[in-house]
Chain A
Amino acid sequence: MSEELDYFHEDAKEQLQMMESALLDAMDKGSNTEYIGTIFRAMHTIKGVAGMFSFDAIISFTHIAENLMDSVRNGKIVLGENLLMLLLECKDHVNELVNCAVESTDLPPQTLEKDKLLKSTINAYLNNSQAHLTPKESQNIETPNTNLWHISLALKDSFFDSGMDLISIIAFLKRLGTLHKVHPLLEKLPTLETIDPYKPYLSFEIEFEGDVTKETLVEVFEFVEDDIELEVFSVKEFLNTQEEKSIEEVQQIEVSVAQPVESPKIEPLKQELPDKKVTPVSQFLRVDSSKIDILIDTISEMVIANAKINRYVEENSAVELEEISIELSTLLEGLRNNVMNIRMVPVGESFEKFRRVVNDVAYRLGKKINFVIKGGETELDKTVIEKIADPLLHMLRNSVDHGIELPQKRVEQGKSEYGNVELRAYPESGSIVIEIEDDGKGLGLDAILAKAKAKGIITPTQQLSDAEAYKLIFEPGFSTAEVVSDISGRGVGMDVVRKNIEALKGDVELQSYVGKGSCFTIRLPLTLAIIDGFLFQVGKTNYIIPLDMVSEVIEYTQQYHVSMKDSKVFNLRGTLLPFLDVRSYYQEMSCQVCERQNIIVVKYGRHKMGLLVDELLGEYQTVIKPLGKLFVNAPALYGASILGSGEIALIFDIPALFEMVNIIRE
């Protein structure tokens, strides 16, 4: 894809996203001029840029959608619920057209069919709006195919810097009607010997005929409006003015011969335009994310190389080199954090896209939903955000489909007819927590257990804690829906949701109360590339856990020891916590030189546990590398890091570690 096409694609996606947000806002809060303006601008901008690429299908569709929005803007059509739904369909359709254009593929038959259908529906709206106009309003609508326009166009010195080609703009203009004449004025053009090739010298006089308004013609040149001097006028109006002036002149001459006659004056066009949005100087730079990935990979290698230097300094007591090494470590850490920050993006942008899904599902099911997003500013690694989108989508669909009751049922239960669904995100000690909470009917434990037994997921006599019972809904083939719908409830989703979240080294849990609602809690690591780790040794193997999850470290002495049959727990100031003896679990060799044994207290969400380890090596910048196939069956480990010595350290998967300890205890 060329850079320009790439830009068009990104820009179109942004415009469509803004359009969708405005449509959903209009649904929730009622329409206003701001939302209407946003929807109009989205169609108009996409049409304009598509014109530069000659994407005819997009131009033709967005043109008609723009006309519809123009009528809404002028108050001729009311932006009601049905029209909002139609415009959402239009947004989806334009998205489809854009994708086909960018991929240079022919429009599939169903898209062509949709195109026809939407256009005829829009036309019905437009015709209907005109049928209801008063005769006075009808007069204001310009008569088709009788408008002859004159466009005067002078290029300012900055024109070629705009990056736009006037010929493409004229080509776009031609699509709106008939281009009778383009007359270039060469008076200012120098000879080849003296020309500055980057400076425009030409002006143009254009005669154009088409069923368009003056505003439409001005908007054709919108993308270069700062780089041209433009005058547009209707030839008919101009001639009428001339005629009226002539009559006035005669009358005025009759009244007073001495009074001077004013020549017909064409108002400068820019004064007639509505307030233009002043585009602020952009503080953003659009960068291909793969370039950042390469940068992070390079920094990862630098972190490893730096660890080697540190190791050399330790082994050789090189004082001068040690100072440099410390400075280098500090700089590298700063660089690493800054680069990692580039990858961190607010989750809000991604969450906004779910509003549409919630809205559509609710509409189809006849439910009323008040959907709230909180903590949209919370930042998460871009890769993680992309991968979590599908699981979140599925859970939201589930909440609306199975959680929230129909309005009548809610009212009967003394609830508001509007169901509440809240999607929120917040940081929590090295993790990001995402919660989806609804105030629907909730999940009954009895129903879950009965279903699990019926499906053979658990045995009829199996006893489970509440938390374990709720986890059953993430088992393959489990569905609590009494009626399987096409929206969710096929029983194939929640296990995939859990699998996807676990693949991101996160976990998901459910809390639910019958009649009150449910809350899904997802915990995700901040990033999947480089972390601040805590390095320790057991036997001859090095291990790392994320530093943020280390609550404290204690020497394992008699005071913490608890004797309990078949259970490994320790007493931390009166609280019994489980611990994992890493040496015995991973069958490490015993440590000959260790003077003491330590317990690292690890926290995760509301839970804490201990790891019984040998030597504590301290904080370590950890570049996460995937584990080889040999480690596929190694429990609670998810990656490795290369140390300065060239040795490997294994990185613990904390959610899996907690789960494993619970299983061992049972």
Chain B
Amino acid sequence: MIFETDSLKIEQVEEVKSQLLAALENEAPMITLDLLYVNKVDLCIIQLFLALQKSTQKKNIQLTLKNCSESFINTLSLSGCSDLLKCSHE
């Protein structure tokens, strides 16, 4: 799943939740969030990603975040979530 936007914030949280739920319902063994274009996220979106992670763990689905930008990683680090939501650079 690729997010083609520079900013993911509370204004988009409803829409992002729907997209993530759709991905979850696919029951694929792996969900990949491609964050190539995403530079800005807020706590509301990070919380949503963490909730997705909780769901994937329950369903034994592998969750991967890839192409994370410096600013995204920095935001994760500030929120203390960089160890919880590991970013892959592939």
* Contact call B17/A197, Cβ cutoff below 8 A: yes
- Chief secondary structure at chain B's binding surface: helix
Taking CB atoms, residues of chain A closer than 8 Å to B9 are 165
Inter-chain CA distance A152–B10, complex, in Å, is: 24
| Chain A positions within 8 Å of B75 at CB level | 167
A residues within 8 A CB of B10? 160, 198
Q: Are B78 and A174 in contact (CB under 8 A)?
A: yes
Taking CB atoms and an 8 Å cut-off, the chain B residues in 8-60 that contact chain A are 9-10, 13-14, 16-17, 20-21, 24, 42-44, 46-48, 50-52, 54-55, 58
- With beta carbons under 8 angstroms apart, the residue of B14, B47, B50, B78 that contacts A182 is B78
Report yes or no: B42 in contact with A201, Cβ–Cβ below 8 A: no
CA distance A206 to B80 in the complex (A): 9
Determine whether A200 belongs to the interface, using a CB cutoff of 8 Å to chain B: yes
* New contact pairs (15) apart from A181-B80, A193-B21, CB-CB < 8 Å: A160-B10, A160-B44, A170-B78, A174-B78, A182-B78, A184-B81, A186-B50, A186-B54, A191-B51, A192-B17, A192-B48, A192-B54, A192-B55, A193-B55, A198-B13
28 CB contacts below 8 A, A to B, read: A160-B10, A165-B9, A167-B42, A167-B75, A170-B78, A171-B78, A182-B78, A183-B80, A186-B54, A186-B84, A189-B47, A189-B50, A189-B54, A191-B55, A191-B58, A192-B21, A192-B51, A192-B52, A192-B54, A193-B24, A193-B55, A195-B51, A197-B16, A197-B47, A201-B47, A202-B43, A204-B80, A206-B80
- Cβ-closest chain B residue relative to A161: B10
Q: List chain A residues, Cβ under 8 A from B88.
A: none
Q: Is the CB of B79 within 8 A of A182?
A: yes
For chain B, the count of residues having a C-beta within 8 Å of the partner chain is 27
Chain B positions near chain A (C-beta within 8 angstroms): 9-10, 13-14, 16-17, 20-21, 24, 42-44, 46-48, 50-52, 54-55, 58, 75, 78-81, 84
Given A197-B44, A198-B10, A202-B47: A190 touches B54 (CB 8 Å cut-off): yes
Q: A160-B10, A195-B17 are in contact. Are A200 and B43 (CB under 8 A)?
A: yes
In the complex, residue of chain B having the shortest beta-carbon distance to the beta carbon of A193: B55
A166 at the interface (CB under 8 A from B): yes
List chain B residues, Cβ under 8 A from A186: 50, 54, 84
Number of interface residues of A (CB under 8 A): 26
A192 contacts B24, C-beta separation under 8 Å:
yes
Contact A200 B80 (CB under 8 A): no
Cβ-closest chain A residue relative to B48: A197
Q: How many whole Å from B79's CB to the nearest CB in chain A?
A: 5
Contacts of B13 in A (CB 8 A): 197-198
Q: Are A165 and B43 in contact (CB under 8 A)?
A: yes
CB pair B17–A182 under 8 Å, yes or no, is no
Residues of A contacting B80 with CB < 8 Å? 181-184, 204, 206
Which partner residue on chain A sits nearest B79 by CB separation?
Answer: A167
Q: Give CA–CA (A170, B47) in the complex, Å.
A: 16
